[in-house]
Amino acid sequence: MSNLETDRPVLSRRMLLRAGMATLAGYELESLLRPVNVAAARKVQPRGAAECCIWVFLKGGAPQLDTWDLKEGAWTPGQFEVKRTPGGILWPYGQFPKLAQWLPRVAVARGMETWESAHNRAQYYMQVGHIISPARVREMPAVGSVIAHEFAGRRKDSDFLPPYVVLNYGNDGLIKEGCLPAGCSPFSMMTQRPSPFLVADAERERLNRRWALLRDLEGNSGQQPLEFSTHGELSVSARRMMSNPALSKVMTLPAAERARYGANAFGDACLLARQLVAARAGVKHILLNHDGWDLHAAMYNPKGRNHYTLCKELDDGLSALLADLDRTEFERGSTLLDKTFLLCMGEFGRTGGPLTVNAGRDHNRYAMCGLFAGAGVIGGQVFGATDERGAKVKSSDWQYKRSIYPEDVVCTIYSQLGIDWTKRITSTPSGRAFEYVEMMSGTNVMKFDPIGRLFA
């Protein structure tokens, strides 16, 4: 704007504020407006054996030597009921009696470690597959968002469920879509709260009237900025889900089924995950959180939520989930478990040997373990080993002579879903390419690949 008498530019305070806000909004929304360009770095052959992935995340870091990498010592409580399985695996039957029955169908990797030992950084690492970078943290997408982006062009008309679902994680520390379109963001739910997407029959007509009014108002508002049309696309997706009559069946948890899964938040999430997968309506990645494993003190204290209660919740919910996936037919000759890649692990392990002075275990990035099942995973195998205190990896027993890292886990997830893990997004706001899996690790340059031992 210029002064008509002097033809000199004039900037009022109102115009300055308006321009500043527009600039800030433009920066925030730039990732929504930018086209996504993807390129592959090297030629690989993804397995493509899975239709969906379920990651049971043990938030806080489960103690490997008190769970699936059992190390007996003076520190081991008698309640663990340690004995050998028929396959010769040392197992805490007192903690995981139901999962013991599933050992012939699951694989346990014990030669694992990570790069981080602080919760927020380690949890970020697991969700993204990259070490945290403060300069790029807002543009880095979660693994689930990358998967949603990969399948965006392959969704069917009957797919009314979101591709990336997060259960019981909350918004604290949840990584979202980053530089990818808003449609790749996680659909986050807490199972202990009523679903806001379930519409009662008595309210459906009222919702339809309001939706029609909203569409009419938007249609008469003239041309809109692209960021608002993106929000509109999300609204349409939510509307498609809410109006589908099958949603009620997916989201409703029968009392008898809840009891079989443990009748708690984690069990409910496992039951809901089963129903989301069984619906076969577009879900591709489920991050299912089991919180409470950060047991620095009094981990065996019988009062309150402790190691025993956590193990029971995990044993009940995970074994029921495996059983239902295995008994539900996917197509002739295969089950949902044959088409679902399931993994269970946290962000790091815990200190080994005797308990600390606080009667708990502290953070330990040098040893952890993971459980894997489904979509071609060969069960009955336990590979890798830690030292006698369960504190450090001695051997990994897979295709590389090093520990298995989070990047290898992420490569495995992508490969199982038929995704080339060497791809990179070259159209990020910062201009620096986002690699699906970066070969620059926490300490050195490494070649990361799927965990071949799981399938060999």
> So what's the pLDDT on residue 30?
45
- What average pLDDT does range 423-440 have in this prediction? 92
Residue 410's pLDDT band, with cuts at 50, 70 and 90, is: very high
Residue 32: C-alpha distances to residues 75, 137, 145, 189, 218 (Å) = 53, 16, 14, 24, 20
Mean of all residue pLDDT scores within the chain: 88
- What average pLDDT does range 12-31 have in this prediction? 44
Q: Assess whether pLDDT exceeds 60 at residue 22.
A: no
Burial class (CB within 10 angstroms; exposed 0-12, middle 13-18, buried 19+) of 412: buried
Query: Which of 151, 64, 14 is CA-nearest to residue 1?
Result: 14
Residue 28's pLDDT band, with cuts at 50, 70 and 90, is: very low
Between 22 and 432, residue with greater pLDDT: 432
CA 42/CA 205 separation, integer angstroms: 53
- What average pLDDT does range 278-299 have in this prediction? 97
Assigned CATH for 48-191+255-415 = 3.40.720.10
Q: Assess whether pLDDT exceeds 60 at residue 12.
A: no
Residue 36's pLDDT band, with cuts at 50, 70 and 90, is: confident
Between 214 and 419, residue with greater pLDDT: 419
Taken as a whole, the chain contains a residue count of 456
pLDDT (tens digit per residue) in 300-351: 998 889 999 999 999 999 999 999 999 999 998 999 999 999 999 999 999 9
Q: Assess whether pLDDT exceeds 60 at residue 388.
A: yes
- What average pLDDT does range 399-418 have in this prediction? 97
Considering the chain, what percentage of its residues have pLDDT values greater than 70? 83
Give this prediction's pTM. 0.87
Residue 31's pLDDT band, with cuts at 50, 70 and 90, is: very low
How far apart are the two ends of the chain, measured CA to CA in Å?
Answer: 70
pLDDT (tens digit per residue) in 103-152: 999 999 999 999 999 999 999 999 999 999 999 999 999 999 999 999 99
pLDDT (tens digit per residue) in 193-248: 877 666 666 666 676 677 667 666 666 555 555 455 555 556 667 777 777 888 88
> So what's the pLDDT on residue 29?
44
**Tokens 């959180």 sit at which residue?**
289
> So what's the pLDDT on residue 145?
98
> So what's the pLDDT on residue 201?
67
> So what's the pLDDT on residue 10?
47
Residue 25's pLDDT band, with cuts at 50, 70 and 90, is: very low
Q: Assess whether pLDDT exceeds 70 at residue 5.
A: no
Beta carbons within 8 Å of 75's beta carbon, 6+ residues apart: 353, 354, 355
Domain boundaries for CATH 3.40.720.10 within the chain: 48-191+255-415
Sign of the dihedral defined by the CA atoms of residues 271, 276, 279, 285, in that order:
negative
Query: Which of 85, 119, 116 is CA-nearest to residue 102?
Result: 85
Which residue type is seen at 175?
Answer: I
